[in-house]
Structure 1
C-alpha cells in the first residue's frame, strides 16, 4: 500500500472508530487547531487530546495501526500491564478495558502529558490504572528531560534522536528503575510491557536484572537510534534473545513503525 493510500485508509479507519467522527474531521482540516477535543470511541473509551498536536497521531497509531498489539501480542483480562511512556493515556486506557480484571501501571514524567493522562484516566473511571509521574531509567534519581518542540510524545533524555538544529527546552523529572518499582509493588509477573520512551529503552532493559526480566512475558516497544555502545535495535534484539525471548523486529530501514516485539 502506498503512503498516500495508507493515509486515506488510516483517516477513514480512525473516523470509523469514533462516535463523534466530525470532531476528527475538524481537527484534520485545522478547524479545531488549538482547542482541546474529547474523542468518544466506539468501544466506550473517551480520550481528550490537544487538537493540532501529535496527540491524535499517537492515538491513531494505537487504535488503527495497532502498533503495540499485533497478532500474538494481545492483552488478557487478568494481565498485569506496564506502560512506560504513557503520554496522555491512549494505550493505558485501551489496555485497562482489555485487562479489566488486571492492572495497568502507567509511567509518564512530562508534567503536561501527565496532567492529560490523569484527566483521561478519571474520565474513563479506569480504576485499574495506577499512575506514576516518573521516568523509568537505569537509576533512582532526578534527570533532565529535553522537550521536543514539535511532538508531544517525543520528549527524551537523548535529544540527539531529533534533528540537531531544533531548539531545546528542559524539565527536571524523577526517575526510578524496573527493579525498584517491581520490588516496591510486589509484582510477580509482568504479562505485557509496553515501551515508548524515546531512547531510554536501552538503559532500562540492559540494566534490568535477570530476576526482574524473567518475570516479563511480552514486550512491545518502539525503538530509537541512540549514540553509545549497543544502543541500537539490532544489539537489543540479540540481547533479548540471549535472555530467552523470541524476538521479531521492524527496523527503520524497512518499516514506518520501528518496533521490537519479544515474548516467551
Structure 2
C-alpha cells in the first residue's frame, strides 16, 4: 500500500509524473520537475534530490513551493551553503556529516516549508531561552526577527554544526549565545550516545554533558525571563513539572508524549495554575496525531 501511495504522490503533485518516475528508476540522467499547483520547475540530476522533494511536497505549504524548489536545486547542485527563509546553513549533503551521523537532522530546518511553529510569537526585542537548539535553526530564526537568544544543545555534533551555521550569518551571530549543555529539572550529568555509525553498531561511544536548570540560566547568565522555548524530546516534562516558571511572559514548546511515554495534559494543567492561557497547534511535518506530538503555547 505504501508503494501505491508513493506512486500516487507523483500524480498528485507533479505535472510530469511519468517523466519523473522514469528519471527516478534510472532511465534518464536528468529531469525537469514541474509542479501542478504552480508554474515553478526545477531541473534535477540526482535521484536523492527528487526523493527529498517528493517527501517535502507531502508536508509543504503551497505558498512555499517556490522556496522549496530553490532549496532542492541547491541540494542537487551540491552547493556548500543552502538558504532557507533567508538564513544560511551548511549543506550537510555536500559533507561527510551524513555518513558519520545518519540521523535525519535536516528535517528540523525543513520544517519551515510545512509549519510556522513559532510564528505565534512576537519576536522583535524579545529575550528567548532556546532549549533544544539542534543545529541553531530556531536561534537563527529568532535572531533574524529581532530577538536576543541564549540557546542550549547537548548533542556535540549538532552543537558544532550549529556553531558553523551561526557563523554563516554574521549579521545575526552577535544576537545568539550558543551553549553545549542540557537543561532539565535539576542539576546533574547526562550520558549521551554519540550519534555515529559506530554507535549504531556497538553502542559503546558516549560522553557526559552538564545538565543545568532554567533557574541556573536566569542566574548564571543573567538572562531575562521573557520567552522560554523548548524542543527537547521529552525534557519539557521534567522542566515544567519541577520548576516554577511564573516569571516568564510566554512559554512555547513541542510536547513529545510519544517519545516520553507520558500524557501532555498535566503540562497544560500546571501552566494554567501558574497563570498562563493555552493554545495548541499540530506539527504537520511529523504526520502524527496531536496526542503524540504537538505545539503548546502558554501566554499571559
TM-score by length of 1: 0.73
Distance 2:155 2:218 in 1: 21
Alignment deviations for residues 195-222 of structure 1 (CA, whole Å, 9 cap, x no partner)? 111111111122222xxx1221222211
The answer to whether structure 1 residue 214 and structure 2 residue 246 are counterparts is: yes
The answer to whether structure 1 residue 65 and structure 2 residue 108 are counterparts is: no
Larger-Rg structure: 2
* Alignment partner of 1:185 out of 221, 227, 230: 221
Q: Compared with structure 1, are the counterparts of its residues 199 and 232 closer, same or farther at alpha carbon in structure 2 (3 Å cutoff)?
A: same
Distance 1:263 1:88 in 2: 26
Q: How far apart are residue 232 of structure 1 and its match?
A: 2.3
Q: How far apart are residue 19 of structure 1 and its match?
A: 5.5
Q: Compared with structure 1, are the counterparts of its residues 249 and 18 closer, same or farther at alpha carbon in structure 2 (3 Å cutoff)?
A: same
Q: How far apart are residue 108 of structure 1 and its match?
A: 0.5
Alignment deviations for residues 9-47 of structure 1 (CA, whole Å, 9 cap, x no partner)? 6186265167555124x2xxxx86xxx84212453x201
5 Å-filtered alignment, 1:66-145, equals 66-70=115-119, 73-99=120-146, 102-125=147-170, 126-145=173-192
How many residue pairs were aligned? 228
Structure 2, unpaired ranges of 5+:
13-54, 283-287
Stretches of 4+ moved more than 4 A in 1? 2-7, 17-21, 146-150, 166-169, 254-257
Distance 1:7 1:118 in 2: 26
Distance 1:133 1:234 in 2: 30
The answer to whether structure 1 residue 22 and structure 2 residue 73 are counterparts is: yes
Distance 1:47 1:244 in 2: 38
Q: How far apart are residue 121 of structure 1 and its match?
A: 1.0
Quote the residue 2:273 is aligned against: 242
Alignment deviations for residues 107-163 of structure 1 (CA, whole Å, 9 cap, x no partner)? 00111011111111111112110011100012222121245679xxxxxxxxxxxxx
Helix, strand or coil at the partner of 1:220: strand
Quote the residue 2:89 is aligned against: 47
Q: Compared with structure 1, are the counterparts of its residues 7 and 95 closer, same or farther at alpha carbon in structure 2 (3 Å cutoff)?
A: same
The answer to whether structure 1 residue 174 and structure 2 residue 223 are counterparts is: no
Q: Compared with structure 1, are the counterparts of its residues 250 and 16 closer, same or farther at alpha carbon in structure 2 (3 Å cutoff)?
A: closer
Distance 1:176 1:256 in 2: 27
Helix, strand or coil at the partner of 1:121: helix
Structure possessing the higher relative contact order (Cα contacts under 8 Å, 6 or more residues apart):
1
Q: Compared with structure 1, are the counterparts of its residues 254 and 183 closer, same or farther at alpha carbon in structure 2 (3 Å cutoff)?
A: closer
- The structure with the greater share of residues assigned to helix is 2
Distance 1:256 1:142 in 2: 27
TM-score by length of 2: 0.65
Distance 1:172 1:196 in 2: 20
Distance 2:164 2:195 in 1: 22
